[in-house]
Chains A and B, each alone.
Chain A
Amino acid sequence: MQPAEIITETGGVIGASWLMIALPAVGAAILLLFGRLTDRWGHLLGTAMSLASFAVAVLAFVELLGFDEAERRRQVMLYDFLPAGSFHVEMGLLIDPLSISFALLITGVGSLIHIYSIGYMAHDEKRRKFFAYLNLFVAAMLVLVLADNYLGLYIGWEGVGLASYLLIGFWQHKPSAATAAKKAFVVNRVGDFGLALGIFTIFTTFGTVAYKDVLANAGAAEQVTLTVIGLLLLLGACGKSAQLPLQSWLLDAMEGPTPVSALIHAATMVTAGVYLITRSGAIYEGAPTAQLVVTIVGAATLIAGAIIGCAKDDIKKALAGSTMSQIGYMVLAAGLGPIGYAFAIAHLIAHGFFKAAMFLGAGSVMHAMNDEVDMRRYGGLRTVMPITFATFGLGYLAIIGIPPLSGWFTKDSIIEAAMHVSPVLGWVAVIGAGITGFYMSRVMFMTFFGEKRWASDAHPHESPKVMTWPLILLSVGSVLGGGLLIAGGTFAEFLRPAVGAPEEPLAFHPVSVPGIVTIVLVLAGAAYAWTKYAKSPVPEVAPRGSFLTTFARRDLYGDALNESLFMRPGQWLTRLAVFFDNRGVDGIVNGLAAAIGGTSGRLRRIQTGFVRSYALSVFLGAAAVVGALLAVGSF
Chain B
Amino acid sequence: MNQIEPPVIEYAQVAPLLVVFGAAVLGVVVEAFAPRYLRKAIHMPLTLLSLAGAFVLTVWQATQSPHNAAAMGAIAVDGPTLFVWGTILVLAVVSVLLISDEDHFVGQASALPGSAEEEESITARAAHTEVYPLVLFAVGGMLLFPASNDLLIMFVALEVMSLPLYLLCGLARRRRLLSQEAAMKYFLLGAFSSAFFLFGTALLYGVAGTVEFRGIAEALTRVGGMDTLLLAGTATLGVGLLFKIGAAPFQAWKPDVYQGAPTPVTALMASGTLVAAFGGLLRVFWVALGGLEWDWKPVLWGVAILTMLVGAILAITQTDIKRMLAYSSIAHAGFLLVGVVAVGDAEQNREALTGLLFYLVAYGIATVGAFAVVTLVRDAGGEANHLSRWAGLGKRAPLLAGVFALFLLAFAGIPLTSGFLGKYAIFAAAGGADAWPLVIVAVIASAVAAFFYVRVIVLMFFSDPAADGPTIAVPTVSTSIVVALAAAATVVLGVIPEPVLNLASIAAESLFVR
- A positions within 8 Å CB-CB of B: 35, 79-87, 151, 154-155, 158-159, 162, 169, 172-173, 178, 181-182, 185-186, 189-190, 192-193, 196-197, 200, 203-204, 573-574, 577-578, 580-581, 584-585, 588-589, 592, 595-596, 603, 607, 610-611, 614-615, 617-622, 624-626, 628-630, 632-634
Contacts and interface: CB of A to CB of B under 8 A. Distances in A.
B350 A611 contact: no
Contacts of A182: 458
Interface residues of B, number: 82
Interface string B414-432: 1110000100110111011
A178 B462 contact: yes
A592 B428 CA distance: 44
A592 B177 contact: yes
DSSP majority for the A interface?
A: helix
Contact of B299 (A79, A173, A578, A625): A625
Contact of A574 (B302, B316, B444, B450): B316
Interface of B: 177-178, 181, 184-185, 188-189, 192-193, 196, 225-228, 230-232, 234-236, 238-239, 242-243, 248-250, 252-253, 255-256, 259, 294-296, 298-299, 302-303, 313-314, 316-318, 320, 323, 347, 350-351, 354, 398, 414-416, 421, 424-425, 427-429, 431-432, 439-440, 443-444, 447, 450-451, 454, 458, 461-464, 496-498, 501-502, 504-505
A82 B250 contact: no
B316 A577 contact: yes
B313 A573 contact: yes
A615 B189 contact: yes
Contacts of B232: 626, 629-630
A626 B236 contact: yes
B501 A158 contact: no
Contact of B181 (A186, A592, A617): A592
Contacts of A577: 313-314, 316-317
A579 B421 CA distance: 35
Contacts of B184: 607, 611
A624 B428 contact: no
Contact of B443 (A86, A197, A574): A197
A624 B249 contact: yes
A203 B313 CA distance: 29
A629 B498 contact: no
Contact of A200 (B248, B250, B253, B428): B428
21 contacts: A79-B496, A82-B425, A82-B498, A85-B354, A86-B347, A181-B458, A185-B454, A189-B447, A196-B443, A200-B431, A577-B313, A577-B317, A603-B177, A618-B192, A621-B248, A625-B299, A626-B231, A626-B232, A628-B298, A629-B299, A633-B295
A15 B189 CA distance: 61
Q: Which 4 pairs of residues, A with B, have the shortest CB-CB distance?
A: A621-B249, A172-B462, A155-B415, A626-B235
A626 B230 CA distance: 11
B239 to A, nearest CB: 4
A309 B256 CA distance: 52
A87 B314 CA distance: 33
Given A204-B431, A585-B314, A633-B226, A35 B250 contact: no
A629 B296 contact: yes
Given A80-B498, A618-B193, A200 B231 contact: no
A84 B502 contact: yes
Given A85-B350, A614-B252, A633-B225, A580 B314 contact: yes
A617 B462 contact: no
A615 B450 contact: no
